[in-house]
Amino acid sequence: MTGVILKHGSDGMTATTKQGRADKGGAGAERRSRGRPPLRSDEETRALIYEAARSEFAASGFAATSIDDVARRAGISTKTLYRLVPSKQALFEGMVVDKMDRFASGVRLRACDGSNIKAALREACLACAELILDGEVIALQRLILADSDKFPDIAETFYKNAMRRTVSTLANWLRTQQGRGLIRLREIDPETAAGMLLGMLILEPQRAVIFGRQAPPDRAELERRSEACATLFLEGCAARP
């Protein structure tokens, strides 16, 4: 039963109900609950941090990039960033590893079916070219070349976690195809073959972008180059009866 409270006022007696106040409070609580933003996991927050860091490092260089700017771009507090990433060096390394983790996963997914070896190799080459000739990756390489004397650790980080890992990812793919009998590397080990293939694929356009200050190749050009490299490579490594 709804309770009635009588209040004395200057204009007489006013009646209010407990139920009415309860209903009003319940509706307000529901509105407050509905308006509260959902919690984001640490993993999701790190992804935002690394994306922001890529943009900041590419635009400003390692030395000039500040943690405050990265946090601001990511839309989080500096305190939250430091809780997840303890230093700028760790931020750079985490950013590179994050980029490479997603690249390696993409190569495995796009090139796992060996039924058409040429198409599969073309897709693997395209994935590598898209990574290495990406505008932000090129910008990172420029900053590393400029800052490597002052910050040798960033050069080592990029070489180990980006350059060598790209070669290893492609080498593992070639090793799998050789195990299936789809290619024959003959006297060349998979790591060496992968390095040669990547050199043929990206060295000339990479130098043109870094030193000639040209724009990175567009998707159509990368597809044409990947097709040509896959054809030339398989002419020398195709499995023959």
pLDDT number for residue 77: 96
Q: Please say whether the structural domain 42-237 has been given the CATH code 1.10.3720.10.
A: no
pLDDT, tens only, 102-149: 888 777 666 666 678 899 899 999 999 999 998 888 888 888 888 888
**Block mean pLDDT (10 aa), the chain, length 241:** 45 44 46 58 94 92 92 96 95 92 76 77 92 88 85 90 92 90 89 96 93 89 96 80 58
Residue of 217, 220, 120 lying closest to 174 (CA atoms): 120
pLDDT number for residue 239: 63
CB-based burial of residue 181 (10 Å sphere; 0-12 exposed, 13-18 middle, 19+ buried)? exposed
DSSP assignment of 95-155, as one string?
Answer: HHHHHHHHHHHHHHHHT---SSHHHHHHHHHHHHHHHHT-HHHHHHHHHHHHHTTT-HHHH
pLDDT, tens only, 81-115: 999 999 999 999 999 999 888 888 777 666 666 67
The C-alpha angle with vertex 198 and arms to 195 and 199, in degrees rounded to 5, equals 85
Residue-range domain boundaries for the chain: 42-237
pLDDT number for residue 17: 42
pTM: 0.72
Q: What is the mean pLDDT of the chain?
A: 83
pLDDT number for residue 58: 87
pLDDT number for residue 148: 83
